């Protein structure tokens, strides 16, 4: 409560008091004026009446004396009456004066009580303001402590991710060594097993090592033994796609297209068996994109987002294809969502493959114009990437963004490509 408001309240209260007091005084003054006027005029009226009644023709001295005595008596009566009226007037005036004094005193006391109440409220408000200010200071200190803790946790998170990546790199190295042994066993013809789990595991290892023919043989054997085996259709589709990419890279487009068609069949079967598998749906979308069927590719990319709206992989695919097709508004929205999803996974350590999250985060930052942030994210992604084979998909996507249909350049993309090519 401000002092100005308190002053306005005092003036309002005082004006009401003055209005009431003046109304009472004005009535009293009019009554007093009328009474005084009557008292002043009454003797003159009585004298006129007395002279009118006085008989000047009377010749008797006794009568004249009697009349004179009557006049004197009338004058005395008038003076008595005047004195009585004056007494009454003074009594009324005294009563009114006392009443007004009592009213004024009580009014002043009420105002003082009101003023004291306002002052108490102001004091209480000042104490609360001090408490709020103290609370704000405490909150600021807490925020600074929290910021420091976040910085420390970020360092621990990066270290943990490096440890996980290092462990994964060691595992990949061991897998690569096992792959050599497996390939050697494959030459002898004693690789296939009657257990679909063994065939699937060996086929996936060989596919990752680039031995697509033997991988397809083992994966087909696993699917034949158990057509509903989890992920076998996805792995088959991915392996046929990889072999198709190799054929196309060598200029053998006929063989490449044949493998693409088989890959589509395998992936569609995988989606039919597991419609909620984001990876299978997104891989199928990527295959249609390679074939140039962008409408079908976008359909599967959006289906992947519908399955998991928090998948930065699915969001990034929709954003990249939208940018290529010139749908800039959709691309901008999806790139922003891609960055948020990737950052969320990094903050919560939700992935054992953080390099993919950093690739997705860097892609989002690059396409939103945050070039320096993008460089840092791509740098971390490259540092954490355990195998060079993963760079191929990243470069393929960046190449698509450069070849967009609306001819819009992407600032900084060439420098990012050079970073990845150098690491490759």
pLDDT of residue 16: 46
Instruction: Identify the CATH number of the domain in which residue 285 sits.
Output: 1.25.40.10
pLDDT in tens, 294-322: 999 999 999 999 999 999 999 999 999 99
Q: Band of the pLDDT at 6, cuts 50, 70, 90?
A: very low
- Please report whether residue 171 resides in a domain: no
pLDDT of res. 105 = 57
- First-to-last alpha carbon distance for the chain, in angstroms, is 70
Residues 272 and 321 in one domain: no
Into how many domains does the chain fold? 3
State mean pLDDT over 279-299.
91
Domain check: are 113 and 201 in the same one?
no
Q: How many CB atoms lie within 10 A of CB 395?
A: 14
The CATH number linked to 383 is 1.25.40
Identify whether 173 is part of a domain: no
Q: Exposure string (b/e) for 241-275, b if CB count within 10 Å is 16 or more?
A: bbbbbebbeeeeeeebeebbebbbebbebbbebbe
Spatial distance between the Cα atoms of 28 and 117, rounded to a whole number of angstroms: 35
- Measure the CA–CA gap between 177 and 192, rounded to whole angstroms: 19
Whole-model pTM over 0.85: no
Q: Kindly state the average pLDDT of the residues 276-290.
A: 91
Does residue 86 carry a pLDDT above 80? no
Averaged confidence pLDDT in the chain = 79
DSSP 200-266: HHHHHHHHHHT-HHHHHHHHHHHHHH-TT-TTHHHHHHHHHHHHHHHHHHTT-HHHHHHHHHHHHHH
Domain span including residue 135: 3-139
pLDDT digits (tens, 9 = 90+) for 127-176: 878 888 888 888 888 888 888 777 777 766 666 666 666 666 666 655 66
Same domain, 317 and 279: no
Query: In this structure, are 15 and 90 located in the same domain?
Result: yes
Last residue of a domain, one of 260, 291, 322: 291
Radius of gyration, CA atoms only, the chain: 53
pLDDT tens column, 23-48:
555 666 676 677 666 665 666 566 56
Choose the most confident range, by mean pLDDT, from 77-86, 101-110, 382-391.
382-391
The confidence score (pLDDT) of residue 11 equals 46
Tokens 């943990």 -> residue = 160
With 90 as the cut, is the pLDDT of residue 106 above it? no
368-397 mean pLDDT: 90
Residue 242 lies in a domain: yes
Residue 38: CB atoms within 10 A of its CB come to 12
Question: Last residue of some domain: 76, 110, 139?
Answer: 139
């Amino acid at each position: 409560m401000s002092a100005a408001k308190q002053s306005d309240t005092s003036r309002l209260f005082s004006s009401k008091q003055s209005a009431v007091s003046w109304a009472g005084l004005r009535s009293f003054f009019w009554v007093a004026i009328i009474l005084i006027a009557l008292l002043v005029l009454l003797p003159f009226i009585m004298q006129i009446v007395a002279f009118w009644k006085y008989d000047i023709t009377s010749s008797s001295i006794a009568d004249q004396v009697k009349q004179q005595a009557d006049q004197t008596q009338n004058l005395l009566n008038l003076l008595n009456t005047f004195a009585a009226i004056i007494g009454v007037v003074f009594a009324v005036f005294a009563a009114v004066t006392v009443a007004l004094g009592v009213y004024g005193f009580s009014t002043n006391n009420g105002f003082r009580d009101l003023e004291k109440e306002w002052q108490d409220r102001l004091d209480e408000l000042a104490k609360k303001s001090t408490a709020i200010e103290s609370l704000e200071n405490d909150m600021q200190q807490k925020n600074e402590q929290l910021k420091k803790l976040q910085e420390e946790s970020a360092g621990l998170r990066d270290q943990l991710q490096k440890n996980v990546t290092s462990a994964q790199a060691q595992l990949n190295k061991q897998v690569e060594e096992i792959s050599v042994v497996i390939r050697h066993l494959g030459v002898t013809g004693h690789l296939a097993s009657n257990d679909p789990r063994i065939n699937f595991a060996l086929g996936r290892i060989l596919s990752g090592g680039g031995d697509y023919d033997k991988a397809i043989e083992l994966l087909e054997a696993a699917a034949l033994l158990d057509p509903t085996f989890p992920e076998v259709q996805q792995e088959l589709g991915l392996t046929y796609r990889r072999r198709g990419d190799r054929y196309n890279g060598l200029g053998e487009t006929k063989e490449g297209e044949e493998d693409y068609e088989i890959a589509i069949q395998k992936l569609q079967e995988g989606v039919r068996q597991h419609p909620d598998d984001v990876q299978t749906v997104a891989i199928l979308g990527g295959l249609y994109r390679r074939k140039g069927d962008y409408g079908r590719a976008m359909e599967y990319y959006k289906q992947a987002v519908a399955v998991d709206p928090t998948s930065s992989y699915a969001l990034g695919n929709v954003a990249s294809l939208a940018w290529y097709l010139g749908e800039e508004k959709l691309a901008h929205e999806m790139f922003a969502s891609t960055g948020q999803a990737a950052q969320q996974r990094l903050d919560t350590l939700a992935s054992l493959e953080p390099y993919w999250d950093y690739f997705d985060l860097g892609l989002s930052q690059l396409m939103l114009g945050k070039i320096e942030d993008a460089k840092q994210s791509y740098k971390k992604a490259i540092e954490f990437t355990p195998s060079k084979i993963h760079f191929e998909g990243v470069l393929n996507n960046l190449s698509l963004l450069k070849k967009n249909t609306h001819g819009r350049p992407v600032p900084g993309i060439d420098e990012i490509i050079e970073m990845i090519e150098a690491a490759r």
